[in-house]
Structure 1
Amino acid sequence: MGREHIKGGRPPKSDNEKMSKLVSIYLTPEESELINNFLLDNNICNYSKSEFFRTIILKTIDQKEIILKRNADPKIVLELNRIGLNLNQIAKKMNSLNALSSDDVLKLNACYDQLDKAITKY
């Protein structure tokens, strides 16, 4: 059955309170050293690494401030840069002339189509 409460001991945890799921991560030696130094420098030695990471992860999720940096695909960056340059040229001309020519409208529509294709492609 279940464990009985021993007088003077901690009451047994319910199944929902038990931490039974293991999550592991791989770190480079430099990352591991950086974390260890952070824990030592900030006097967090009385916490286990498990407790430290669990607290950081859960607080980050609660605050919805998850920011993951990924290496962007160079093709996407180049394509979006080209589109941005075209849009900037059109905006500059619009601001200087206070008017849009039919050629500018065509260019703007072409830029929109390129941007739409780039977004839906990736």
Structure 2
Amino acid sequence: MLIIRITREEKIRLKSLTKRGKFACMSDYIRSRIFKRSDRKVISLDENANDQLKNLDYELNKIGVNLNQLSKRMNSFAGYRVDDNDRLLLKQAFDMMRQCLVLLQKYLR
């Protein structure tokens, strides 16, 4: 970790440069400037792609919730056995993750 002291004006400028460069955080921006990294890929999305990725985020969140519920059941009861409903849930989660991966690969290539 590195701590630096900057003025309020410098911090405002740094935040502005970070946003303009579409970096996730100031640390990413600073690292890119220090190490001259150009390995960052900027992806421009149309409205349809943006909507698809928002839906993807929603679906992945639902998968996470379902998997957490299943994990809680499995860890809460000694001798818990996975039943057909659990298998169906896992299959649905796997299928949805596969669809998400295909969609992400489409935009990241």
TM-score interval, smaller chain? 0.3 to 0.5
Higher RCO, 1 or 2 (CA under 8 Å, sep at least 6)? Answer: 2
Q: TM-score, normalised by structure 1?
A: 0.42
With the length of structure 2 as denominator, give the TM-score of the two structures: 0.46
